[in-house]
Structure 1
Amino acid sequence: MAATLQIRPVEAGDEAEWRRLWTLYLEFYESSVPEEVYLTTFARIISDHAANDATFYNPRGLLALSDGHPVGLVHYFYHRHCWQVDHVCYLQDLFASPEVRGTGVGRALIEAVYARADAEGCPRVYWMTQEFNTEARKLYDRIATLTPFVKYSR
């Protein structure tokens, strides 16, 4: 029998599972963040995004649940853009637990962000990944367009 997959917003009671999944994501990229970043990010994710213009730009989070158990997450946020009037949506973090990779969890999370962005009147969603993330890029190549941009950072 196939598992039931549900995608829903991160809620206040999800902190432990959200933290577990985000830590696994950060470890995949050989990275970590201090406790203050965990606390601040989670508070922003569960904030009331409709309250005012400033909170509209806070990150949002969705969890993927397989038979009620969290197995994936995505973080995204909206921002203004100088080349168009509409906001754009940046999909910042996407993670599916190793045991569910290849089962549609990543695709479902991306499509959930697409749907939410469309509902907010935000027609453009974009993200980045590292070149070595070959398995994820197979999915991305099917559901998005690879751009020629190169990222620089300070």
Structure 2
Amino acid sequence: MTSITAITADDRPAWDALFQAYITFYESEVPAPAVESTFSRILADEHIHGALARDADGRPIGLVHWLTHPATWSTKPYCYLEDLFVDPEARGAGTGEALIAHVRDWARVFGAEKVYWLTAHDNTRARALYDRIATSTGFVHYEIEL
């Protein structure tokens, strides 16, 4: 059975391993100061929030990070699910769905209008889950590096 718990300072080694695996999955790199800052902000639980999924033995097998922000199309804030990752060996057992449900439930209590996220267009396995539990908006993501 999967359980979802808030990230604590004691989770740092497991979080590091999962976060690095997530970054590697997207063939990216995150500078060490950003990783350190991210973990500190998750522990502060003010602007960025985080949780770990744990298997029946208590081993961390997935992570999720989210934040909220004001919206121009609503009087309520939006909740952005920024990072979601499940250890490849643990996939297919509902962990990703449980992590998303955790954020959804948190956002509902927080008073958010909606939860939303982005993924790579070729992330077909994850998109099969997303298409089942959420609505694709059809928007295309653009960005400008500064």
Could you say whether these structures have the same fold, taking a TM-score greater than 0.5 normalized by the shorter chain as the test? Answer: yes
Distance 1:48 1:25 in 2: 21
Gaps of 5+ in 1: 50-57
- Distance of 1:48 and 1:148 partners within structure 2: 31
User: Is the contact between residue 74 and residue 113 of structure 2 (CA under 8 Å) also seen in structure 1?
Assistant: no
Q: How many aligned residue pairs are there?
A: 143
The residue matched to 1:46 in structure 2 has which SS? helix
Is residue 84 from structure 1 mapped to residue 82 from structure 2 by the alignment?
A: no
Partner of 1:114: 104
Structure 1 equivalent of residue 44 of structure 2? 47
Q: Normalised by the size of structure 2, how large is the TM-score?
A: 0.96
- Alpha-carbon distance between aligned partners in 1 of 2:138 and 2:99, rounded to the nearest angstrom: 24
- Residue 80 of structure 1: CA displacement? 0.5
What is residue 133 of structure 1 aligned with on the other side? Answer: 123
Whether contact under 8 Å (2:52, 2:60) holds in the other structure is: yes
- Pairwise CA RMSD of aligned residues? 0.8
TM-score normalised to structure 1 length = 0.91
* 1:95 aligns to 2:82 (yes or no): no
1:65 to 43, 50, 54: 54
Segments of 5+ residues of structure 2 without an aligned counterpart are: none
Q: CA deviation at 1:48?
A: 4.4
User: What amino acid sits opposite 1:150 in the alignment?
Assistant: V
**Hey, what's the Cα distance between the residues in 2 that align with 1:102 and 1:75?**
20
Matched residue SS, 2:67 = strand
Alignment partner, residue 25 of structure 1: 22
After TM superposition, what 4+ stretches of structure 1 lie above 4 angstroms from structure 2?
A: none
* Paired letter, 1:62: A
